[in-house]
Structure 1
Amino acid sequence: MNQAPDPKKHRSRWSQISTNTLVRFLLFFASGWALVAIFQYFEYVIFVFALSGILALLLNYPLQFLQRFVGRRLALGLVIALSLITIIAAVVTIGLTLTNQVQQLATLLLQTLNTSNNPFDQLQSTLAARNIPFNLDVIEAQIRDVFVVSLNWIVSSLPVLFQNYVTFIIILVVAFFMLIDGAKLWRLVLKLVPAQHRNRVSIAVQTNFFGFLRGQLLISFLLSIATFLVFALFQIPFPFLLAVTIGVFDLIPGIGATLGVSLVCLIIFVQSNWLIAFKVLLICLVLQQLQDNLLSPRVMQSTIHLSPVVVFFALLVGTKISGLLGLFLAVPIAGVIVSLFNLEEAQGE
């Protein structure tokens, strides 16, 4: 017969939780909650300085290259002048191109979805001809609503993004000052860390945070170029816009590439037909395999590899705390934490 649990055992277990342990847990919880609240309150400041830091990190590579041939001051002047010209030209040309293609694509998709012979009806007829009982009406209605809401939001948001030039100028100015005084600012930040841990923190941040961002940006940039060239070769509609979409989504670790490819294939399916969408899917899968098996291991070999469960947990927490910015910075921050605390269980194979 089953014996009733001994109440003394329960009392002994609860007695193991001391007052000091409980107080430490509550203080830890309160500190975490206060940190999240402060992060959300200064989200705009963190957003500006995060983008400025990433831009300064990218500009530091041509600066180090030019310093081999000329002095630091002349190299700084050349990098700042050339980067200003490049950024302004890129914003004008790429921004106008993206805006034009987004508007054209939005109009085309809405017209296609409102026709009586759209791709969903064609697929429904094909399935019915093969006696496959599958109703796409509900899926079609949901996808139509999602497309209408998303495209309207994108079209209405693009002018606001280009008109918000004040934030853009602030990011450029802060990035240039970070580029000039980067070493001093980094030493200033390290003073917040106890002296015995500064070297370890510096290595962890530079390896995991800066190394991850540098590698992820390089991989996404190369993937965008390769996707654009292949799409243009196979005459896929709107190759520039679709390549940029895949590259931006690829910046999200773990699930970003899948989301980008799924969105692009869905757009192609609605715009054209399922055969072209299937062709795009095959192209994207081949490029993703080349990236994951050839490019990523070489670019990311110096950074820490996290377990997929930890990656998804970091993405969800980062999105909850800081939205889009947290989505992009969650994984490198998690890598720094895992490296500092030597959490081998959280590392991937």
Structure 2
Amino acid sequence: MRRFPTNLQNLAIIGLGFPVIGLNIWVLSQFFRYFEHLITILTIAALSAFLLNYPVKILERIHFRRIPAIIGVLLLTIALLVILGVTVVPSALDQTTELIQQIPEWLQASNDNINAWEEWGKGKGFPIDFNVLRTQINAKIDTQIQIIGSQVVGLAVGTLSGVIDTLSIVVLSVYMLIYGDRLWQGLIGIIPERIGMPLSESLRLNFQNFFISQLILGIFMASTLTPTFFFLKVPFGLSFAIFIGASELIPFIGASLGIGLVTIVIMLKNFGLGISVLIAAIVIQQVKDNLLAPKLMGEFIGLNPVAILICLLIGGQIAGLLGVIVAVPIAGTIKGTIDLIRQQHSLVPQPEFVGGSIEEKG
């Protein structure tokens, strides 16, 4: 029987592989959209349990039993949330509401600035016309204001649903902290040991370490930008700083996107202030990326930047914002599992021929 050349086999595998991958992505996206609400609640609860399990493990190392350790961590977390809810959250909500109300005024100021640039250009003999740019910017911002307004109304209407979802997440997180190890060991027990053990270790490293690192980096950005914006007299500086810090949850590009959006909005009001905000935010971001992030993140993900961008695009296509947030740790888990399996395989003694007989290496 005649066999195909190796290069033709490779081409056939690639030609069939991409359609299969595309079909699987489409099936996953449809599955997520059908169970979106349930999957979101379960994912947030699992991530919360992952994060809270870290301080629980620390308390266990200093001879606390698990249940008292969980109770202590939960009480401390509730206390921190109450403090934030009483101090930071009301101010941020008030600033955000006032910002939405002042956007039309900022648009008018932006149009006046653009008209001044046009007059300056015509005075210097440059045929500058920003009409198309002005129209596009105004249309985009008006659309976003309408979307934000409808979301605020929807939030007010769905308050009861939000409370129920929050309680569900809290209860699920507590049960995952108490019984999650048993459930996970049961699931891992179904998988062959040579795959299950590397998967469990890689999942713990990527999800727990990744989200703890991103949370610390986000808090760093928000806490350093808040006094910086106050010093620069940036209007609604607290809301802008929190927004940039929250953007850090989107790996690799989140902080840059947050800084860019905040800069554009501030430029509507004051172009010079927007440039100052951009420079200050980039300086703080560089401090974070070069001093803090390497110590926190390390190389536990080990993904190429191009691969990270592809993962973000695929995650966004499948599950929107939630998919973007969890895409990188999922990809890191897959890669880490494969690397650990290969490492285990390389440590297994391989037979070799010695003098006509088979002996084991090592």
TM over 0.5: yes
Q: Is the 8 A contact 1:207 1:302 kept in 2?
A: no
Partners of 1:275 and 1:107 in 2: how far apart? 22
Instruction: Give the C-alpha shift of residue 79 in structure 1.
Output: 2.4
RMSD value, Cα? 3.2
Instruction: Give the C-alpha shift of residue 78 in structure 1.
Output: 2.6
1:165 aligns with 2:179: no
One of 301, 305, 323 as aligned partner of 2:302: 305
Q: Deviations over 1:291-321 (max 9, x none)?
A: 1111111111142232121111111111111
Relative to structure 1, the CA distance from residue 127 to residue 58 in structure 2 (aligned partners, 3 Å threshold; closer, same or farther) is: farther
Equivalent position of 2:129 in the other structure: 135
TM-score normalised over the length of structure 2: 0.80
Q: Is the 8 A contact 1:127 1:134 kept in 2?
A: yes
Secondary structure of the corresponding residue to residue 118 of structure 1: helix
Q: Is the 8 A contact 1:103 1:155 kept in 2?
A: no
Q: Is the 8 A contact 2:311 2:327 kept in 1?
A: yes
Higher deviation after alignment, 274-283 or 66-75: 66-75
Relative to structure 1, the CA distance from residue 231 to residue 32 in structure 2 (aligned partners, 3 Å threshold; closer, same or farther) is: closer
Equivalent position of 1:8 in the other structure: none
Partners of 2:258 and 2:193 in 1: how far apart? 44
One of 5, 25, 40 as aligned partner of 1:47: 40
Partners of 2:227 and 2:180 in 1: how far apart? 36
Q: How does 1:1-349 map to 2 (within 5 A)?
A: 34-67=27-60, 68=62, 70-91=64-85, 94-114=88-108, 118-158=112-152, 160-161=154-155, 163=159, 164-271=162-269, 273-342=270-339
Relative to structure 1, the CA distance from residue 266 to residue 125 in structure 2 (aligned partners, 3 Å threshold; closer, same or farther) is: farther
Q: Deviations over 1:215-263 (max 9, x none)?
A: 1121112111111121122222111100111112222123222211111
Instruction: Give the C-alpha shift of residue 204 in structure 1.
Output: 1.4
Higher deviation after alignment, 143-152 or 240-249: 143-152
Equivalent position of 1:347 in the other structure: none
Q: Is the 8 A contact 2:259 2:281 kept in 1?
A: yes
Q: Deviations over 1:260-299 (max 9, x none)?
A: 111111111112x111111001101101110111111111
Secondary structure of the corresponding residue to residue 134 of structure 1: coil
Q: Is the 8 A contact 2:51 2:211 kept in 1?
A: no
Q: Is the 8 A contact 1:52 1:174 kept in 2?
A: yes
* Structure 1: gaps (5+ residues): 1-10, 344-349
Partners of 1:120 and 1:227 in 2: how far apart? 28
Secondary structure of the corresponding residue to residue 302 of structure 2: coil
Q: Is the 8 A contact 2:313 2:324 kept in 1?
A: yes
Relative to structure 1, the CA distance from residue 21 to residue 317 in structure 2 (aligned partners, 3 Å threshold; closer, same or farther) is: closer
Q: Is the 8 A contact 1:209 1:332 kept in 2?
A: yes
Equivalent position of 2:360 in the other structure: none
Residue identity over aligned pairs, in percent, reads 29
Instruction: Give the C-alpha shift of residue 325 in structure 1.
Output: 0.6
TM-score normalised over the length of structure 1: 0.83
Secondary structure of the corresponding residue to residue 191 of structure 1: helix
Q: Is the 8 A contact 2:109 2:268 kept in 1?
A: no
* Structure 2: gaps (5+ residues): 341-362
Q: Is the 8 A contact 1:52 1:172 kept in 2?
A: yes
Partners of 1:15 and 1:225 in 2: how far apart? 56
Partners of 2:29 and 2:300 in 1: how far apart? 26
Relative to structure 1, the CA distance from residue 70 to residue 41 in structure 2 (aligned partners, 3 Å threshold; closer, same or farther) is: same
Relative to structure 1, the CA distance from residue 124 to residue 92 in structure 2 (aligned partners, 3 Å threshold; closer, same or farther) is: farther
Q: Is the 8 A contact 1:269 1:277 kept in 2?
A: yes
Secondary structure of the corresponding residue to residue 52 of structure 1: helix
Relative to structure 1, the CA distance from residue 72 to residue 240 in structure 2 (aligned partners, 3 Å threshold; closer, same or farther) is: same
